[in-house]
């Protein structure tokens, strides 16, 4: 029983650490794009969900402003997609949890967007055509992530079972 508890505690701790690191990367990507566009990025909310505020990035309905906002909002998910593409042919016990956290983040932000002002909801308000591009990016990320999870499930399961002393 203690081995099970230790294993699940290690797994939960690993997921929390990966999620914390990903939130830093996610919000830093927003801030970087904001600063590169010549605006000031500020941390709007810290807990429970950090958010970067970029005043002035959407001042009018010009396409260039919409595109700047699109890049500001979508850049963490593009980084996540690049990470997933990098992990696609990799093996190791970290591939599964990293993929899981990346998919959890994109899924949460995309699926909750009708109810809460997330990155995707804000893109939909600014420009519906760029929103369709962001939906395409989400589906590509889901597809790649699903393939990674499916391919690495047995190795991750083996790591968990070996941690508790069971052999496959």
Confidence of residue 37 (pLDDT cuts 50, 70, 90): confident
In terms of pLDDT, which residue wins out, 159 or 123? 123
In terms of pLDDT, which residue wins out, 156 or 113? 113
Q: What single DSSP character describes residue 52?
A: E
In terms of pLDDT, which residue wins out, 140 or 45? 140
Mean pLDDT over residues 141-164, rounded? 82
Tell me whether residue 134 is in a domain. Answer: yes
Tell me whether residue 45 is in a domain. Answer: yes
Is 27 in contact with 44 (CB distance < 8 Å)?
A: no
Tell me whether residue 58 is in a domain. Answer: yes
Q: Find the helix or strand (DSSP H, E) in which 45 lies.
A: strand 41-45
* Full-model pTM: 0.84
Determine the longest span between alpha carbons in the chain, in angstroms: 61
Q: Which domain holds residue 47?
A: 2-163
Tell me whether residue 111 is in a domain. Answer: yes
Tell me whether residue 168 is in a domain. Answer: no
Number of domains the chain is built from: 1
């Amino acid at each position: 029983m203690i081995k099970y508890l230790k294993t699940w505690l290690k797994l939960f701790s690993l997921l929390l650490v990966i999620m914390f690191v990903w939130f830093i990367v996610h919000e830093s990507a927003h801030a970087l794009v904001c600063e590169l566009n010549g605006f000031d990025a500020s941390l709007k909310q810290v807990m429970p969900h950090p958010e970067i505020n970029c005043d002035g990035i959407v001042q009018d309905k010009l396409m260039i402003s919409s595109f700047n906002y699109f890049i500001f909002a979508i850049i963490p998910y593009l980084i996540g997609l690049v990470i997933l593409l990098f992990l696609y042919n990799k093996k190791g016990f970290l591939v599964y949890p990293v993929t899981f956290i990346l998919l959890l983040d994109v899924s949460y932000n995309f699926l909750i967007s009708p109810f809460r002002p997330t990155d995707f909801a804000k893109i939909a308000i600014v420009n519906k055509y760029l929103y369709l591009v962001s939906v395409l990016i989400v589906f590509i990320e889901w597809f790649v992530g699903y393939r990674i999870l499916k391919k690495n499930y047995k190795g991750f399961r083996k790591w968990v079972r070996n941690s508790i002393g069971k052999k496959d």
